[in-house]
Amino acid sequence: MMAAKPETIQASYVVRRGRREDCDELLRLIWELADHEGTLQKPTITKEILLEDAFGERPNLHFFVVELKGLEDNGDIRGKMCVGFAAMNGFVTDIFLGRHSKLCGLYIDEGHRGNGLGRALMKAVCKTCLDLGVASLDFDVRMNNQRARHFYSSLGVTNNTETKGWEYWQFRDTNMKKFSSEPECLNGVNTQL
């Protein structure tokens, strides 16, 4: 009789709200996401900002993690590990619609894609948005990220650049400094801040 084939590691996933102690894992995943997107500028976010914005006095960052629970051959639960996350801003005032939320990141580790984890995270995000009573969840998607475009379309998200011609503009702080320091030459306009 042949020896029993070694058991493969059984893994299951838990999607849950992020906790203070997840901030290191979240930071690691944010860096992985930046690498994945080939972002030229490396993330400058700090653990302090994550802790303050998600758990401080005025929290306005919600995040969710996918925790991998694996059973070793001997039945022990392998140390937990996060293999994905979603982060959203609680609410932002939209002067037309009232309030909306912003999805500021969604990422699944490459080895765990195709298991429905992105959908599960987006459900958690949507439920939170609906609980907050916001009118929409807004975010940016890179045009050449076909996988993401297909994924979000399949959930019912609309691409406002394609359908309504809205473009995404950004005023970086260095440019703001330059513009703000230009000498004023407006006649009859008095600024009193």
Residues in 44-103 at the binding interface with a copy of itself, rule: CB under 8 A: 44-46, 49-50, 53-54, 58, 60-61, 64, 87, 89, 91-99, 102-103
Residues between 1 and 40 that touch a copy of itself (CB under 8 A)? 11-17, 30, 33-34, 39
Q: With binding defined as CB under 8 A, does residue 144 bind a copy of itself?
A: yes
Amino acid letter for position 138? D
Q: With binding defined as CB under 8 A, does residue 160 bind a copy of itself?
A: yes
- Residues 6+ positions from 156 with CB-CB distance below 8 Å: none
Q: Give the one residue of 6, 79, 180, 183 binding a copy of itself; rule: CB under 8 A.
A: 180
Q: Using the minimum distance from each CB to a copy of itself, give the nearer residue, 110 or 175.
A: 175
Q: Using the minimum distance from each CB to a copy of itself, give the nearer residue, 3 or 192.
A: 192
Alpha-carbon distance 167 to 177, whole Å? 23
Q: With binding defined as CB under 8 A, does residue 151 bind a copy of itself?
A: no
Number of alpha carbons in the 13 Å side-chain half-sphere of residue 130: 6
- Min dist CB 109 to a copy of itself, Å, is 14
Q: What angle do CA 72, 83, 51 make, to 5 degrees?
A: 120
Alpha-carbon distance 116 to 32, whole Å? 19
Q: Give the one residue of 6, 75, 111, 188 binding a copy of itself; rule: CB under 8 A.
A: 188
- Min dist CB 2 to a copy of itself, Å, is 28
Give me the phi and psi of 121, to 5 degrees please: -65, -45
Alpha-carbon distance 171 to 73, whole Å? 53
Which helix (H) or strand (E) is 150 found in, with range? helix 146-155
Q: Using the minimum distance from each CB to a copy of itself, give the nearer residue, 73 or 92.
A: 92
SS3 110: helix
- Min dist CB 73 to a copy of itself, Å, is 18
